[in-house]
Chains A and B, each alone.
Chain A
Amino acid sequence: MSHILDKTSALRQGVVIFIYLAVLTALEFFVAVTFESVFFLVLVAVIKAALVVYYYMHIYKLNEDSPSDEHSYGYKTGTSRLGLWLFLLSDAFVFAGLMTVRVNLLGMTRPDLSQDLGLLVTAVLLISSFFMNRGETAMAHGDKKGFMVNTSITFVLGLAFLIGVVAVEWPQAASHGITPASGTAGAVFYMMTGMHAFHVLTGLIFLLVVLNNGRKNLYSAEKHWGVEACAVYWHFVDLVWIFFYPALYLIGAAL
């Protein structure tokens, strides 16, 4: 498996994985609007998730050897990495709980949302993850400019996603009668997208913090834990959406 790659190879890997993710997303959409196989949609989501967790979130780094000196930066980063993943594990339970609510209350139906708009916002978030990966890779190889540019693009795309959901989709759904109080479909839609949007918002704040500190030259190839943490968190937000998107837009008959 890939471990320490040089910069070109790492960037190329990021592109390749993105292409896989994009193709799978297109496939998902196609299946959903044609023959609607729940099994297939779940399978695609799982594959996309695995790709993100392994290549973008580089979960294998948890298994890396740490320097033996407990007080070294390297060792402490390893501990912080474990802490971050434990936090994400905990957070995952919230989203798993929300999925359970969706399955229990809506079953094989889904809210009558615009599938085109859903695909659009999903694409925006996925592309933002691509640029986040580029930004983190840049910093890991000491390329400050590459880090600033790519991470800024991530921020803009993330903001676009947030606006797309909260300022476009929500009003549009409401005008079609899907409001928080209109019934279980509405309640589930707003709660799931709302909780996710809250995490996007905190991710955006994290991005700003990291951009600001990067601007002040506080990160280097050897010491950039803040960047890694921000990237992993951002990919987690994308990961949740990989499951929420089919759950809300693709699986089941529109009510």
Chain B
Amino acid sequence: MKKFFSTALARGLFWQVIGTLVGAGLVTGIRWAMGLSTTIDNFFFTEPAWVMGGFFGVLFFLAGNGSVTDWYKWARGIDTPEHPEEPWTGWERYLHVSLDHKVIGVQYTVTALALIAIGGLFALIFRTELATSGLKFLTPDLNMFGQTGLQLYNTLMSLHGMIMIVSILLGIAGIINYVVPLLLGAQDMAFPRLNAFSFWIAVPAAVLLLMSMVLGGFDTGWTGYPPLSARAPVGVQMFFLGVFTAGWSSILGALNVIATVVRMRAKGMTAWRLPIFVWASLATSIIALTATQLIGLSFQLVMFQRLFGMGFFDPAKGGNPVLFQHLFWFYSHPAVYVFVLPGLGVISELLPVFSRKPLFGYRWVAMSSLGIALVGFLVWAHHMFTSGMNEYLRVPFMYSTLLVAVPTGVKFFSWVATLWKGKIVFPTPMLFVIGAIVVFLLGGLTGPPNATVSVDLHLHDTYFIVGHFHDTIFGGFVFPFFAAIYYWFPKATGRRMSEFWGKVHFWMMTPSFFLMTFGMMRIGLLGMRRRIADYDPMLGFDATHMVLTIAGYLIGLSVLIFFINFFYSIRNGEKAEGNLWNSRSPEWQVPSPMPVHNYEKPFEVVGEPYDYGLPGSKYVEFSSSSQGKHH
């Protein structure tokens, strides 16, 4: 226990609490000196005090847990060792600040899994309410966390969305950070301290998001549209601040990935010999680096509207509510490609290994990731067809949105062609890859109806949309995330997860998910709106809702099984120290668990990455002399 309190995690959280009090106290002091109100009934501090508190909390967390110590020393002109000593072993290692991308990758992944559990729990709570018509426990006279049952429904639903989104950003960061340096033959990421910082800033961000629950919640959905968000309870400020902070993690992480891919490649690794997952990571990072600033800006403007009366989106002051939507979606659409491009990259990376065949049309697949990223910047207003924006914008955005289908189609056809004439095997990672393809296909196919304006006028804000994005997210992230974990777990630990329980996870999750998504889309078409705590029994949706709730619980159970498998197998899994999947990729040519400095002997790229079936071909060759000395 004492060990825990000395960890960077515990220290950070401690200092976050102190920082929150200092920030809130500071503002309260200034307000008192200015003769303004200093406390409000429900939440003790005023809203500006909580905002400053939240902000200071993040700063104190980072300063207090050691994430910025080296940079501070550099600013003072003091040199620090390039590879500092990291004496901790076992689980302790992951609770301290480490510069090792492999440790950071695991930290990201485990945090993502924790957020998936929390976000999933929130969903199960409101799914239980929605299982039948008629409010049961989230009722107007319920009073919990300073919210009525109806407000609590909105808060749970909104947090489910945003917590899951943050879990996706952390999950992709986890896989990318662990795997990309290994694929490139690098010792670490280009900027290891920035890497550690990018992870650690996500922790106070998650705390802020969860804090909204006890500050009155918020009733706006994760999209936070004003004017509703301008008049929402104080909790919405924690939501805005939490997202802003998480955005920094995403931006700086992406910066690191781009620099690493450009500057840290092994000899002979030309562009067309990069592993396909690296192309995917690059495309994702280009979007995350740039577009993320716009959600930060849009939220900042609402925060300032609330704090200082700056009427950006207040019609009474000449403001424009629709402007918020343009700014918000300019990020939030490309964001969904951030969510799925890595997962699609995982599919492309793993299919050749399990089909024993080259990735069909590798260069086209590589370019398709960049193509999706580029076109993805041009489609945002398809979320706004009913918004009252200028009429003439609707048709161009319909065209651009439908265009995304072209590079996406290239991937699907390539995957099918990769499987064709292969020698296919079906271990657990492959099952999740296949599940990912089929589920993402559903997501992709339900896209065009949303893209065509007239049909979207019926579908917008219904459960059809909810079904569509759960398809794309499960297919593009959730399934590939599990595939990647099952696949690379042996590389990280030297053991494999249970195949049996992995299959149970898959066969429980997948049919449940299909039931859930088809059910959602059906009632959406028939009139079920989104984001409602209750629905009219006359609509006849009760039976389907019950199915959705049961499916949700089954998915939750399957994920619980995964968690148990994951944690149990770290110490007790079947040993797997060699090239378990018979992959050509360099990280599998060295023993598992991965050595601390990755490749003692550097490798040179001498062939194509996916030349399975070509006798005598090699992808990488390790040098005979041990030149892997780290400086």
Contacts and interface: CB of A to CB of B under 8 A. Distances in A.
Specify whether A and B are partners: yes
A93 B318 contact: no
Contact of B263 (A79, A98, A104, A181): A79
Given A82-B262, A183-B311, A187-B311, A90 B323 contact: no
A43 interface: no
Given A79-B263, A101-B301, A181 B308 contact: yes
Contact of A104 (B256, B259, B317, B320): B320
B291 interface: yes
* 5 pairs of A and B residues whose beta carbons are closest in the complex: A181-B309, A187-B310, A93-B293, A71-B631, A97-B297
Interface string B286-328: 0001111110111001001100111110000111100100110
A187 to B, nearest CB: 4
A105 B323 contact: yes
Interface of A: 70-71, 75, 78-79, 82-83, 86-87, 89-91, 93-94, 97-98, 100-101, 104-105, 180-184, 186-188, 190-191, 209, 212-213, 216, 218
**Interface residues on chain B, size class:** 35 or more
A187 B312 contact: yes
B290 A89 contact: yes
A98 B289 CA distance: 17
B293 A190 contact: no
A218 B77 contact: yes
A90 B259 contact: no
A190 B310 contact: yes
Interface string B178-202: 0000000000001100100000000
A82 B296 CA distance: 23
Contacts of B298: 97
B317 A93 contact: no
A70 B264 contact: yes
Contacts, number: 101
B203 interface: no
A86 B327 contact: no
Interface string B261-297: 0111000000000000000000000000111111011
Nearest to B263: A79
A191 B301 contact: yes
Given A86-B255, A101-B301, A78 B263 contact: yes
A205 to B, nearest CB: 9
A184 B311 contact: yes
A93 B291 contact: yes
27 contacts: A79-B191, A82-B258, A83-B190, A83-B194, A86-B259, A90-B251, A90-B255, A90-B292, A90-B293, A91-B293, A93-B291, A93-B293, A94-B296, A97-B327, A101-B312, A180-B304, A181-B308, A182-B317, A183-B318, A184-B312, A187-B305, A187-B310, A187-B312, A187-B317, A190-B310, A191-B304, A216-B77
Nearest to B262: A82
Contacts of A71: 631
B34 interface: no
Given A82-B259, A104-B323, A187-B317, A180 B77 contact: no
Nearest to B194: A83
Contacts of B258: 82, 86
B75 interface: yes
A51 to B, nearest CB: 24
Interface string B372-403: 00000000000000000000000000000000
